[in-house]
Amino acid sequence: MRRVGLHALKGEPAMAMPARICEDHAVECARAAEQKAAHVKLCGHRAMNCLQAAAQTDNPRAREVLLGLALNWLQDALTASKQSNLLKMASHAR
pLDDT tens-digit map of 18-46:
666 667 777 787 788 888 888 899 999 99
Which residue segment(s) compose the domain that 28 sits in?
A: 18-92
Is 31 within a domain? yes
- For residue 51, give the nearest of 29, 77, 31 by alpha carbon: 77
Name the residue among 46, 27, 35, 40 with its Cα closest to residue 91.
Answer: 27
Summarize pLDDT for 37-74 with one digit per residue, the tens. Answer: 888 999 999 999 999 999 999 999 999 999 999 999 99
Contact between residue 40 and residue 80 where contact means Cβ atoms under 8 Å apart: yes
Q: What is the model's pTM?
A: 0.66
Domain-located, residue 63: yes
Number of domains present in the structure of the chain: 1
What is residue 17's three-state secondary structure?
Answer: coil
Side chain identity, residue 40: V
- Structural domain contains residue 8: no
Would you say residue 82 lies in a domain? yes
Q: Is residue 6 part of a domain?
A: no
Could you tell me if residue 45 is inside a domain?
Answer: yes
